[in-house]
Structure 1
Amino acid sequence: MDKYKKETFLIGSGLIGLSLILHFFHYLIFKDLHHTLIFLVADIAFVPMDVFFTAFVIEKLLDKRETHHKMEKLIIIKGVFYSELGNSLLDEFVKGDKNIDLIKNDAFIKKSWGKEEFKALEKELDEYSYEVNLENLDIRKISDILNKEKDFLISLITNPTLMEHESFSDMIITLMHLREELLDRYFKMECECNCCDKNHIEEDIEDAYRALTYGWVRYMRHLKKEYPKLFLKAMLNNPFDDRSFSEKYKVSEENGINICEMIK
């Protein structure tokens, strides 16, 4: 019997024994075995109902409330992440995407989108072949972004709110791995012996690109449902939308969206 089971057994035995002793004292004081047994049986009969309301009803309500609070915190953390470095990295990765024209238009998330449109985009991105051309990427800029936000990434990994969200945690770990590979494999080996394995670096960037893109779509879906105003702002920073601000402004006006009011 391990330590945890032994402690549980001892505590349970102690509580049951205490209950029997108290009922015995009740009998000694009032000398009424009939009513003592009535109370004892009534208490035992109430246990299943008590367990039901405590373990299933109340606990479910508390879990639902806690889950909602965790989701709110997660959305805030994701928002900070994408505004601080996620969108900047995606902007750079998109520039080196060999097949960007295949998903570019489909990734123009619109105000009218609902659950089905987001699901369709998630499915498309899940099946998409993420291939980047290292020559079209500003590797130094990507490395600088990751190095500048190193402490922020570490704080995200250790954040207890993210521990239960495996996909987001994996994305942060992927970015940390990319940062280390750029420093140790790309810049160091390129400078010292000009023998960097660029194919390996491309694969690491593609992994980070895939994780960032999928996470971004799920983040946008949550914003659309829970925070419509933040969703409208995030639409302006769509990393797959390379239109100028004036073009976005014109299209937004045609769709009844006032950007000037939206960004206040």
Structure 2
Amino acid sequence: MSDRRWLVTFGTGLIILSVVLYVLHFLAFHDLYYITSYTLGDLAFLPLEVLLVTLVFHQVLAFRDRRQRKEKQNMLIGVFFSALGTQLLTYVSDNDPDRDRIRPLLMVADTWTAKTFREVAARLKRHPSHVRIDSVDLTAVKRFLGSREDLLLRLLENPMLLEHETFAGLLRAIFHFDEELQRRPDLSRLPESDITHLGGDLERIYGLLIREWLDYMRYLQKNYPYLFSLAMRTNPFDETASAIVA
């Protein structure tokens, strides 16, 4: 209420000041024609001014705000891949029965263009994202995800990432899978039906994780070449990957 009162007072003061200045101008020069024509000219320009301020200037600010928010989102996504995502993707992809077919497709290089990334992303949509759940050490995965629960919670609570729907979906899928594992005290004695259920959860994560990783690689290549260099050298789909520069 006080903000509204302040705006009304401020607006009224500006109007009164304008009237006083016009009166002073008339008293000094006795030129009503100039005052009238000048006022009409200002009124005629007012719609264009509103257009420029509310549309053009607003769009410029909105674009800048979106770019800043996108940058902050990608910083958080970078934290995710550094602390969790790359390791998880490496392990899960090693248990992909179609890994020999998909690995050559995901050997990202600095010569890739935006078109290359789009083509690979389109081909990934047809990849089944299967996981040999019988080969997965669920106890080790449980321990790994359990050690990263605080990070997952912080990322899920961040409103910036909630705006990124696909990445938020990935975080929810990982957190759900972690919760499934933590609620099973002994993962070595699960019935086949339960193992199949967990395999479905892991395959959901795998499909989302590949796409988000590829999108993040494209972002790094475009904006941070030095980070992209490390990401290429630690590519989860490269069997000879090493952070050491040869």
- Structure 1 stretch displaced more, 19-28 or 144-153: 19-28
User: So what's the TM-score if we normalise by structure 1?
Assistant: 0.76
Query: How far apart, in 1, do the equivalents of 2:168 and 2:150 lie?
Result: 15
Query: How far apart, in 1, do the equivalents of 2:34 and 2:49 lie?
Result: 22
The percentage of counterpart residues that share the same residue type is 28
Query: How far apart, in 1, do the equivalents of 2:75 and 2:63 lie?
Result: 19
Number of the residue aligned with 2:113: 114
Number of the residue aligned with 2:169: 170
Query: How far apart, in 2, do the equivalents of 1:19 and 1:40 lie?
Result: 15
Q: In the alignment, is the contact (CA less than 8 A) between 1:96 and 1:135 conserved in 2?
A: no
Give the Å deviation of 1:45: 1.9
1:199 paired residue among 177, 196, 199? 196
Q: 1:20 to 1:35 in 2, by over 3 A?
A: farther
User: So what's the TM-score if we normalise by structure 2?
Assistant: 0.81
Q: 1:193 to 1:117 in 2, by over 3 A?
A: closer
Report matched runs for 1:1-264 at 5 Å.
37-38=36-37, 40-184=39-183, 187-188=184-185, 194=191, 197-243=194-240, 245=242, 259=245
Give the Å deviation of 1:89: 0.6
Q: 1:90 to 1:43 in 2, by over 3 A?
A: same
Aligned to 1:132, the other structure's residue is in SS state: coil
Q: In the alignment, is the contact (CA less than 8 A) between 1:189 and 1:195 conserved in 2?
A: no
- The alignment's C-alpha RMSD in Å is 3.3
Query: How far apart, in 1, do the equivalents of 2:90 and 2:161 lie?
Result: 24
Q: 1:193 to 1:203 in 2, by over 3 A?
A: closer
Query: How far apart, in 2, do the equivalents of 1:79 and 1:27 lie?
Result: 59
Q: In the alignment, is the contact (CA less than 8 A) between 1:104 and 1:240 conserved in 2?
A: yes
Q: In the alignment, is the contact (CA less than 8 A) between 2:233 and 2:241 conserved in 1?
A: no
Give the Å deviation of 1:123: 0.9
Q: In the alignment, is the contact (CA less than 8 A) between 1:130 and 1:210 conserved in 2?
A: yes
Give the Å deviation of 1:160: 3.0
Give the Å deviation of 1:16: 8.4
Q: 1:195 to 1:206 in 2, by over 3 A?
A: closer
Aligned to 2:40, the other structure's residue is in SS state: helix
Where do 5+ consecutive residues of structure 2 fail to align?
none
Query: How far apart, in 2, do the equivalents of 1:193 and 1:238 lie?
Result: 33
Query: How far apart, in 1, do the equivalents of 2:33 and 2:153 lie?
Result: 66
Query: How far apart, in 2, do the equivalents of 1:86 and 1:118 lie?
Result: 19
Count of residue pairs brought into register by the alignment: 240
Give the Å deviation of 1:180: 1.2
Where do 5+ consecutive residues of structure 1 fail to align?
1-7, 250-258
Q: 1:244 to 1:234 in 2, by over 3 A?
A: closer
